Amino acid sequence: MNDRHHDPSTANPTSLEEILRETNEAGGFQSCVLTSTEGLPIAAVPTGYNSDFMAAVVALIQRTSNDAQSQLGMADVDEVTIRDRDRVRLVCRHIVVGRDKLILAVMVPPGCHSRRTTNWAVRMIKQVLS
């Protein structure tokens, strides 16, 4: 599955679950979860992955990226990606809505692209939560 070169939907979804479902389908992702930076799942698409465990892992990645950012003097982190030997990627996108900091995490299979689809998801999440 490759990048679809279009937004997941022409209609604006009205719930976080709809956004994640459309994101998963459009990107061909294996899993999609929206979490707090503390690791609490806010919304998830049911898949073979345990969303609570995935949210906890994402929070650990968030803390590690924050440490790296501050130690290296980097600007705010936009995305963190981990790739396994099978080329499956865990992509974590950081989202700020008002004072809330959230993370959109997707499991991306080999050969799939994530940036365009997750950009759409970030815009829709901000719209629904604003």
Domains of the chain: 16-129 (3.30.450.30)
Residues above pLDDT 70, as percent of the chain: 92
Confidence of residue 4 (pLDDT cuts 50, 70, 90): very low
- Euclidean distance between CA atoms 67 and 121, whole angstroms: 26
The reported pLDDT for the residue numbered 87 is 95
| Between 17 and 55, residue with greater pLDDT | 17
At which residue do the structure tokens 């936009």 appear? 78
